[in-house]
Amino acid sequence: MKPVAIFRHSPTEGPGYFAIFLEQHGIPWKLIALDAGEPVPATTDDFAGLCFMGGPMSVNDPLPWIDGVCALIRQAVDRGVPVIGHCLGGQLISKALGGQVTGNAAKEIGWGEALAEDHDVARHWLGDFAGHRGTVFQWHGETFSIPPGATRLFSNAYCANQMYALGPHLGMQCHVEMTPEMIATWCDQWAEEAAAVADQPSVQTPDEMNGQVGERLPAMRALSDQLYSVWIRGLAR
């Protein structure tokens, strides 16, 4: 089986639980570290699927790899190669497919919940989560529009577009790939950012984020297992 290409845009925003899930299901993967200067592949020929992780930058920044990534996403969609995006990754998919990425009304930082839609597409992707709340992790100040032809799966009071699907492709504003180690690293690395907006109800302190790992992580794992299980069904075997 061809590997899943996992694109990393920042050293501390690696594949996390997504890679663990792939390994548990015998699916090979290859890290493409754009943050370390690796080039964007010109074609999807060598990959069963594409995964895009998060990053502190904006898809609207004049970065040298943005156009190449968007072109690769469009090629994958045209060829039916499954694409999945986490936070920045979901924004990249939206941008590539004709959506827009703009500032969100509020920053979301930390543990939170999102309310799932309840329609055929949601039931396909979310199973028993359809029509109910799911636990997610957040760290973003921008948001995407739902790209043409896609269907919203999750929303919440602070950010209307939390997740969408288009055929075998999945874009997320939220994070479901987090590990305790990633959370601890982000809380240390970006403590000042969280402190600057600590008065907002959509923001947690680093102590709160780290302190709720034991309580919240199992619920998020259940959601990520559901989403990733559906996504890997589209991979060419």
Domain range summary for the chain, segments of one domain joined by +: 4-232
For residues 57 and 63, the answer to whether their CB atoms sit within 8 Å is yes
* DSSP 8-state symbol, 64: T
Lateral strand order in the sheet of 151-155: 29-33, 4-8, 49-52, 83-86, 169-172, 163-166, 151-155, 101-116, 133-144
Backbone angles phi, psi at 184, to 5 degrees: -60, -40
Q: How far apart are CA 216 and CA 137, in angstroms?
A: 9
CB 203 within 8 A of CB 194: yes
| pLDDT digits 0-9 by tens, 46-55 | 999 999 999 9
Q: What's the average model confidence in pLDDT over 83-87?
A: 98
The fraction of the chain above a pLDDT of 90, given in percent, is 99
The reported pLDDT for the residue numbered 179 is 98
Give the pLDDT confidence score for residue 237 in this predicted structure.
Answer: 75
**pLDDT at residue 89, rounded to an integer:** 98
Report pLDDT digits (tens) over 176-205. Answer: 999 999 999 999 999 999 999 989 999 999
- pLDDT interval class at 101 (50, 70, 90): very high
The whole-angstrom separation of Cα 93 and Cα 225 is 21
pLDDT tens profile 117-142: 999 999 999 999 999 999 999 999 99
Note if the pTM is more than 0.95: yes
In terms of DSSP bridges, do strands 163-166 and 169-172 run parallel, antiparallel, or are they unpaired?
antiparallel
How many other CB atoms are there within 10 angstroms of residue 206's CB atom? 19
**Is it the case that residue 6 has pLDDT exceeding 90?**
yes
The per-residue pLDDT for 236 is: 81
User: Which pair of tokens denotes residue 78?
Assistant: 């045209």
According to DSSP, the residues that pair with 86 across neighbouring strands are 172
Q: Which of 43, 17, 70 is nearest to 221 (CA)?
A: 17
Per-residue confidence (pLDDT) for residue 187, from 0 to 100:
97
Contact of 193 with 187, CB cutoff 8 Å? no
Beta carbons of 100 and 94 less than 8 angstroms apart: yes
Nearest Cα neighbor of 124 from 169, 178, 177 is 169
**pLDDT for 32-43, tens place per residue?**
999 999 999 999
Give CA–CA dist 125/87, Å, rounded.
18
Class of 4-232 in CATH: alpha beta
pLDDT digits 0-9 by tens, 63-72? 999 999 999 9
Determine the average pLDDT of the residues in 139-167.
98
Q: What value does the mean pLDDT of the chain take?
A: 97
